[in-house]
Amino acid sequence: MSMSIWTRADPPPCPTRCARGCWAKGEAPNFVAPKVRGNALLTLGRYQWTMRYGPSDRTGLAIVAGVALTYFLLAVAAIGLTRLNQNVALLWLANGPLIAALLTRPAPERPLHLAACFAASIAASGAASPYTTLAPLFAVANIGEALLAWMLLRRFGGDARAFLTLPSLAGFVAAAGVVAPLLTGPLPAAMMALYQGSDPWAVWMNWGIGHGLGTVITTPIALLVLGGTIYRDRRAQPGAAGRFAAIALLMVAVTVICFAQSRLPLLFVPILPLIAATMAYRVAGAALGMFAIAVIGAVFTMAGHGPIELIEASHAVRLQFFQFYLAVLFLIAVPFATMIAQNHRLAQAVAASEARYRLIAEHASDAVVTVDREGRVLYASPSVRELGGYPPERLIGATSFDMIFEGDRSRVREAHRQVIDRPDLIHRFEYRGMTATGGIRWFESTARAVRDDDGEVATIVTIVREVSQRKAREADLQRQANTDPMTGVLNRRAFQDRIDAHRHRTPDRPGALALFDLDNFKQVNDGYGHDAGDAALLVFADVLRASLRVEDVIGRLGGEEFAVLLPGLTPAAALAACERVRNSLQDTRIQSVGSGFSITVSAGVAPIRSDLSSDEVFRMADAALYRAKSRGRNRSELADIDSLAA
């Protein structure tokens, strides 16, 4: 027999045997129904099951039978060993396997589990309970409780991994250990009150506590069996079987010794092996340890043995204290196991992340460097050897600023402070660094701060990349953008920028602007050709370079007009420099067609002062140049200082 299950709001699921079913994942694959001999529809609330009878699934039926048999045995044990007089069982362990089956088995099996456990509950009541006539109603309450717990867990996103995180554990305890038992408890309380006059409040409380404790104790054990490898992560370790047997034997022996005597208050003793089991096997160890203590303690306590007998109270009060004792042990062991499991998964994730990080860092062409707040190197990837020639191990403990070119060191320190002050941002900066051989290369660093548990910046992770070739290309492009293509001196825009920069950086420093214009240049082009004119421009640019200082700035403004920035010179000194240029050019023979030719130049000089704008300085120099032209050319003139003052 095979079945499919869906709600009115959900699509039909895939009939494959996945752990949770496609229905649990919200998927809707194509559903192909097997050959059937008949159909039956089961409706419970908003859930509907369509049963299609066909070829049997032996594995699924075997699991259904195993869960039902376990349910029957646990129910018989609970009724026979922990039932109070005229009351319900002290510790109901049977619902745990059913809830685990509903959480882990495919959707088509769930109706079978519910039906089989319903029958097992009736059979257990008939075999061990004096209330045989009430067995169907007890079965409704028992199975309804398990179904309600499953529905609540599914409603709030719970699944078979309920014991792996603290929030999911809290949700499971609330749904299956508190809400579901308390909501189904009024039915048996009313039955017992009507049947034999029992106190309904006492029955309801015993039902809620006993069923809640039993469910949270046995469900994780059932999940160990039905949940695959979710809680069995240490089964394959060397020596695991022997270590497990030793811890289990210690757990059982200590618990038996504790509850077999009634003279000493040794209830704290089983906590020690319980913690050992929890630390060794996490959720599995805590669940099995709790189960051992619950079963052994319940048997001895119901028989009138154990440390609880030291309490001077009625038997009912002692049994309630035993329930309280189990609840305390659960709160000690299971959340502790869950935290250990969380930390283990976190450690695995960190180890995997570190492995990926090291794989990338050790095989990337860029270098990865980690420094502390003071800039000391904590880690350097192997790529630093290729980038700068430094052995990575020799950099550990060194100050990273010592490897920065001195001219950029203060700027890099400021960038380092910015990374610390603004840790949530990614910072990128370029600088010149020194290699192990003393060379200088350009580097780009991308840095981000890493915080510690207190939110303070602890380290800075930096990815370092060499950008020397890119900087060289940028410099070449900048040079091409700023250079006159024929003469190699600055073009008009670049020269104007240099004038403005000089005035901005050194407003009080003296300086002068000289404008040069080749005399009769049009006649050279007309008489000798444009090639001769180009040769004259190149010769004049060479004369300027040879006659002026290194710090003097030469530019071509256009055509045959040139300009020179003479920083630090007075107008008289600048005029003398122009005279050197003029004399050198008139004595130079320009080789061209025929025997060559000579050319002269006129110049105008104006001082650069803070009270004059750049445009005013240019106009003054241009006026001086015009005056040199009008007075016969091949001469240098100084701008009229008196007219400037006026």
Q: Same domain, yes or no, for 402 and 264?
A: no
Out of 193, 208, 229, pick the residue that ends a domain: 229
Q: Indicate whether 477 belongs to any domain.
A: no
CATH at residue 631: 3.30.70.270
Q: Assign residue 253 a region: left if phi > 0, alpha if psi is -120 to 50, beta otherwise?
A: alpha
H/E run at residue 449: strand 440-451
pLDDT at 527: 84
Tokens for 453, please give them. 């548990």
Q: Above 70 in pLDDT, residue 30?
A: no
Q: State the residue for tokens 């419970």.
A: 44
Which one, of 221, 296, 298, lies nearest residue 252 by Cα? 296
The mean pLDDT value for 547-566 works out to 94
Side-chain-facing half-sphere of 121: CA atoms under 13 Å: 25
Bigger pLDDT: 221 vs 20: 221
Q: Same domain, yes or no, for 515 and 609?
A: yes
Q: Same domain, yes or no, for 372 and 420?
A: yes
Q: Same domain, yes or no, for 144 and 14?
A: no
Q: Same domain, yes or no, for 493 and 615?
A: yes
CATH at residue 440: 3.30.450.20
Q: Indicate whether 23 belongs to any domain.
A: yes
Q: What is the pLDDT of residues 302-342, one digit of tens each?
A: 888 899 999 988 877 888 898 889 889 998 998 998 898 88
Query: DSSP string of 146-197?
Result: HHHHHHHHHHTT--TTTTSSHHHHHHHIIIIIIIHHHHHTHHHHHHHHHHH-
Q: Same domain, yes or no, for 73 and 209?
A: yes
> Distances in Å between the alpha carbon of 379 and those of 213, 405, 424?
52, 21, 21
Q: What is the pLDDT of residues 340-397, one digit of tens each?
A: 888 888 888 888 877 777 777 776 788 899 999 999 999 998 889 988 899 999 999 9
- Listed in sequence order, the residues at least 6 apart from 208 whose beta carbon sits closer than 8 Å to its beta carbon are 178, 181, 182, 185
Domain of residue 216, residue span:
57-229
Q: Indicate whether 116 belongs to any domain.
A: yes
382 CB burial (10 A radius; 0-12, 13-18, 19+): middle
Q: Indicate whether 198 belongs to any domain.
A: yes
Q: Indicate whether 478 belongs to any domain.
A: no
Q: How confident is the prediction for the chain on average, in pLDDT?
A: 85
CA 415 – CA 431 distance, rounded (Å): 11
CA 401 – CA 460 distance, rounded (Å): 14
Q: Which of 143-152, 456-465, 474-483, 617-626 has the lowest mean pLDDT?
A: 474-483
Which one, of 438, 435, 440, 439, lies nearest residue 385 by Cα? 435
The mean pLDDT value for 286-297 works out to 90
Specify whether the CB–CB gap between 238 and 351 falls below 8 A. Answer: no
Give the global pTM.
0.55
The mean pLDDT value for 494-505 works out to 88
The type of residue at 263 is: R
Which one, of 426, 427, 435, lies nearest residue 466 by Cα? 435
Tokens for 54, please give them. 């066909």
> Distances in Å between the alpha carbon of 479 and those of 471, 476, 488, 494?
12, 5, 9, 10
Radius of gyration of the chain (CA): 46
pLDDT at 6: 38
The 3-class secondary structure across 24-84, one letter per residue, is HHCCCCCCCCCCCCEEEEEEECCEEEEEEECCCCHHHHHHHHHHHHHHHHHHHHHHHHHEC
Out of 444, 472, 500, pick the residue that ends a domain: 472
Q: Same domain, yes or no, for 609 and 526?
A: yes
- Total of domains in the chain: 5
Q: Which residues pair with 51 in a beta bridge?
A: 3, 40
The mean pLDDT value for 23-50 works out to 42
Q: Same domain, yes or no, for 78 and 140?
A: yes
Q: Indicate whether 481 belongs to any domain.
A: no
The mean pLDDT value for 475-486 works out to 88
Residue 353 sits at φ, ψ, to 5 deg, of: -65, -40
CA 484 – CA 32 distance, rounded (Å): 79
Size (the chain), residues: 646
Q: Same domain, yes or no, for 384 and 413?
A: yes
Q: Same domain, yes or no, for 465 and 505?
A: no
Specify whether the CB–CB gap between 21 and 13 falls below 8 A. Answer: yes
The mean pLDDT value for 585-611 works out to 87
CA 568 – CA 642 distance, rounded (Å): 21
The type of residue at 33 is: A
Q: Same domain, yes or no, for 93 and 218?
A: yes
Q: Same domain, yes or no, for 14 and 157?
A: no
Q: Which of 46-60, 502-516, 602-616, 630-644 has the lowest mean pLDDT?
A: 46-60
Specify whether the CB–CB gap between 80 and 202 falls below 8 A. Answer: no
